[in-house]
Every structure is written in structure tokens, then in C-alpha cells.
Amino acid sequence: MRNVLLMCLLLTGCSAQMDSPEKRINDFYSFYLTAFVTDTHEDNLDSPKMREYIARDTLFRLKKILSLNEQEIIGSDYFTYTQDYAAEWIPDLSVSNAINSVSGKVVNVGLGAGNGQKQRLNVYLRNEDGKWKIYRVTDTSHHFEQYIFDDRAIAAAQRYAASITSP
């Protein structure tokens, strides 16, 4: 009986320390949008802040793709699906309640886009190192996804990059 009680205390203690998916997403986008518009470089894929919020495999893939010349896999910022962003839109950030998905949670995010408009995203999270981390973002406003997980597209982009840099 004593072991059961101890196990329950340990389990509740562990879950109490893990931020909710909604809080993680709100914290990430509050940080990221500010870094994005101020160009502080804290949103650099190698920064400790980005490693805090983004899954390792996602960071690896983004870095690999962005290192390629003339790649066409990522056409805009992966986390906002925009080319640029305005500081006055940041207060319009909205985060919905998380819903369960096959590999973790999904949070619907609304980014202010000016003139009362919202850019709608689905942000997918999974538990990594005891924290909810972003591993996938889709643009639900335009029913679009940048295919960073398409290994064939990445291989083709690598071949193309090599062909244009070869003498």
C-alpha cells in the first residue's frame, strides 16, 4: 500500500511540473513573434530558446532544408507561414484548447494578421524530454503544409543544390 501511495505521489508530481500544451504554445509564440519582429536572433534554429520549444527532429530537418541553395520546400517562415510580421499584431495571438492526436496534442493558433484578420495554424506537439515540443505546423487558413517531412523532396532538393554548385 505504501508503494502505491508513493507511486501516485511521484506521478502527480511529474505531471504537475509539465506545462500544458496551451501554455507551451502561448509561451512559444509570445517569444517567437517578438524575436521575429525585433530580429534579436533568438529565433535562430540553433538558439537555446528554440531547442526549448521545438522537437529535435524538426529542428534538424529545418536546418538541413534551409542549408540548401535554391530549395523550394520552405517558402515562408515555418512557424508563422508568413514572410514577415508586424509587432502590433502580436497582442492578437490566440491559442485554443489542445486536442488529442495520434502522436500527442494539436493546438489551434490564431496569429494576428492586421485589419482584424487572423492567420490560422494547427500546431502539433509531442512529449520530448518531459516537455511538450512542437514538431509540426500547418497553415489551416490556406489548407497548406510545408513538407519538411518529405524525404524524397529533401533528397531532390539536395541533388538540385549540388548540381547548381558543381563546376
For 23-74, write each residue's pLDDT tens digit.
999 999 999 999 999 988 889 999 999 999 999 999 999 999 999 999 999 9
Euclidean distance between CA atoms 162 and 146, whole angstroms: 22
Euclidean distance between CA atoms 129 and 111, whole angstroms: 27
pTM: 0.86
Euclidean distance between CA atoms 34 and 40, whole angstroms: 9
Residue 79 scores a pLDDT above 80: yes
- Pair 46, 60: CB distance under 8 Å: no
Alpha-helical (H) ranges within the chain are 2-17, 21-38, 48-53, 56-66, 151-165
User: By three-state DSSP, how is residue 11 classified?
Assistant: helix
Euclidean distance between CA atoms 58 and 65, whole angstroms: 11
| Residue 2 confidence (pLDDT) | 52
Classify domain 19-165 at the CATH topology level.
Answer: Nuclear Transport Factor 2; Chain: A, (3.10.450)
152: CB partners within 8 A, 6+ apart: none
Q: What percent of the chain has pLDDT over 90?
A: 80
C-alpha distances in Å from residue 147, one per residue of 100, 107, 118, 153: 22, 19, 22, 8
